[in-house]
Amino acid sequence: MSRELTPHHAFQTDCLEQMGIVSWVQGQAPATGTIYRAPQPWPRADGLQASEPDVIMDDSAFAPPMPAPARAPEKIDPEQKDASVADLKRQLGAAPEVIVEDLQPIEEVVLDTPELAPDAGQKLPLQTHLAGYFMLGRLLVLSDLPQAFNDEDALDKLALNLSKALLKQEVSEWHKGLFRWPGRLQNQYLVGRQDWLLGAFEQFLMNQLGNQANQELLIILAGQHSVQFFDALPDAHPLKRHPAAQVDSLPQMLRIPELRKDAWATMQSTFFAPK
């Protein structure tokens, strides 16, 4: 004798059947019911509204679960059991490489970081602050700066006046860059690397000059650090082909105006002396 399910109960039964849950049904009597589904939410390709007909659910195939037959415990032969125990004792007494031959641990070797060989050449200062001025593609000025310097306008004015007097024309195109070491670098191992320091200085020069350096470039090295960094450049560096005048730093010239006269005499003898 069949029984009629309510639409809600029929929909629930159908969902459980789709999920593979059938053991919850009780009894052997078949059940039928009408399932009302929501209309299709996605539009069809032809633009028509799709709708599904009501599904008549027949759960006559539902049946209560049948308990699985109990399995009798397997009997173990006493002789086989004794042999297994003896074999286990033999394995436990064997050498370790027999038991864990495929599970050998990976040995990790810790190597000490080799110390860097001391540089044969001059040591560069590990705390430095430089300013670079590139004027009209013809003049490069490198000057030492104090670690704390806040008179940038006066420094720029002095560099421009010096350039105008040396080049004998108005400076309409120029730019300035700053080089600071170690700057934001906090790795103590890299801070002390002379090759990193010199490489950073070469990159600074490349950023300043680009491809605009004139064949008759003049270089002013104002300050001890500027001279040291310039001398540390490789002999084959392109800037080594140009004349370089060594004078006091621009901040020193700001504090002691008399130094400007000495710097001017040095530049005249370096750049314009008869060869």
The tens digit of pLDDT for each residue in 1-50 reads 566 777 777 777 777 777 766 655 555 566 666 666 656 555 655 555 55
pLDDT recorded at residue 112: 61
Instruction: Give, in order, the Cα–Cα distances in Å from 201 to each of 129, 130, 190, 204, 244.
Output: 11, 10, 14, 5, 17
Percent of the chain whose predicted confidence (pLDDT) is above 90:
42
- Contact, 255 vs 227, CB < 8 A? no
Angle of the 224-232 helix axis to the 194-209 helix axis, nearest 10? 100
- Check residue 183 and give left, alpha or beta (phi > 0: left; psi -120 to 50: alpha): left
The answer, yes or no, to whether residue 261 has pLDDT greater than 50, is yes
Place of tokens 């200062």: 125
The answer, yes or no, to whether residue 73 has pLDDT greater than 80, is no
Reported as a pLDDT band with limits 50, 70 and 90, residue 105 is low
- Contact, 135 vs 186, CB < 8 A? no
Please state the pTM of the whole predicted model.
0.56
pLDDT recorded at residue 210: 81
Give the pairing of strands 55-58 and 31-35. antiparallel
pLDDT recorded at residue 184: 87
In angstroms, the CA 161 to CA 159 distance is 6
Mean pLDDT, rounded, for 220-240: 95
Mean pLDDT, rounded, for 185-198: 88
Mean pLDDT, rounded, for 45-63: 52
